[in-house]
């Protein structure tokens, strides 16, 4: 449940990029592998292994990406509608 408390919502969407494709500018603040805006403190991205998870809500145009899978379905809220076109994983994504 730690990730839910990190972003303060029952779910969130992120765009996942290979770490080598990600370029950072500015000076974010960090806690573990999570990075925050140095000005307002908003969560912006996280590093996970060889990937970077960019929070869609942090983008100027968050609608440019559409989620294709859903993680941690074992903790999914029962009132959420189904997303029939998405691949679902009970916990983390496995390759």
Q: Who contacts 65 (Cβ-Cβ below 8 Å, separation ≥6)?
A: 13, 15, 56
Q: Is residue 76 part of a domain?
A: yes
19 φ, ψ (degrees, to nearest 5): -55, -35
d(CA 31, CA 47): 11
pLDDT digits (tens, 9 = 90+) for 43-83: 899 998 899 999 998 888 988 988 899 998 998 999 999 98
Residue 94 covered by a domain: no
Q: What CATH number is given to the structural domain containing 31? A: 2.170.150
- The total domain count for the chain is 1
Strand-strand pairing, 34-36 and 29-31: antiparallel
Domain span including residue 52? 2-88
pTM for the full predicted model:
0.81
């Amino acid at each position: 449940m730690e990730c839910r408390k990190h972003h303060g919502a029952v779910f969130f969407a992120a765009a996942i990029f290979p770490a080598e494709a990600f370029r950072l500018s500015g000076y974010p603040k960090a806690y573990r592998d999570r990075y925050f805006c140095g000005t307002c403190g908003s969560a912006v991205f996280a590093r996970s292994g060889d990937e970077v998870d960019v929070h869609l809500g942090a983008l100027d145009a968050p609608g440019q990406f559409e989620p294709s899978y859903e993680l941690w379905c074992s903790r999914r809220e029962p009132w959420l509608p189904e997303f029939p076109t998405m691949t679902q994983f009970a916990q983390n994504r496995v390759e």
